[in-house]
């Protein structure tokens, strides 16, 4: 398995754990959307909370130029930390939700 396939497998495995976590409000569900061709991964919440429609992105990850770009991270622990624990090096992960001038102060890749 090459590096890209390894990264894809790790991302899918980590994100599949998120969709297994049930909401206490049974009208909400979590979905994993994968576009393997464009290497985009989205975990989203949708459903109803009372009379209000809920439809939002919790996690959005892209693989761009063989690096993992975390576009959105709405998790408590940090999806980047989970990807590192699963075997992806920090220098291959970009916290894209931070401005470029701030990324240099993280332990992760700048771009």
Beta bridge partners of residue 29, listed in sequence order: 46
Q: What is the pLDDT of residue 17?
A: 92
Q: Could you tell me whether strands 93-95 and 40-49 are parallel, antiparallel, or unpaired per DSSP bridges?
A: unpaired
Q: What is the pLDDT of residue 1?
A: 63
Predicted confidence (pLDDT) at residue 49 exceeds the cutoff of 90? no
Overall size of the chain counted in residues = 111
Q: What is the pLDDT of residue 26?
A: 73
Q: What is the pLDDT of residue 110?
A: 94
- Cα dihedral 13, 40, 63, 96 in deg (nearest 10): -100
Q: What is the pLDDT of residue 25?
A: 66
Predicted confidence (pLDDT) at residue 107 exceeds the cutoff of 70? yes
Q: What is the pLDDT of residue 102?
A: 95
DSSP letter for each residue of 31-63: EEEEETTTTEEEEEEEEEETTEEEEEEEEEEEE
Task: Give CA 37 to chain center in angstroms.
Answer: 17
Q: What is the pLDDT of residue 7?
A: 95
Give me the CATH code for the 3-103 domain, please.
3.30.310.110
Q: What is the pLDDT of residue 11?
A: 97
Coil, helix or strand at residue 8: helix
């Amino acid at each position: 398995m090459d590096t890209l396939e390894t990264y894809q497998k790790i991302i899918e495995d980590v994100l599949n754990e998120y969709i297994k976590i049930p909401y206490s409000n049974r009208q909400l569900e979590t979905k994993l959307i994968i576009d393997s061709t464009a290497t985009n991964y989205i975990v989203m919440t949708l459903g109803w909370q009372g009379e209000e429609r809920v439809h939002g992105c919790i996690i959005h990850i892209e693989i761009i130029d063989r690096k993992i770009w975390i576009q959105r991270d709405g998790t408590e622990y940090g999806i980047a930390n989970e990807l590192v624990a699963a075997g992806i090096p920090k220098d291959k992960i970009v916290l894209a939700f931070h401005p470029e001038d701030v990324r240099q102060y993280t332990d992760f890749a700048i771009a």
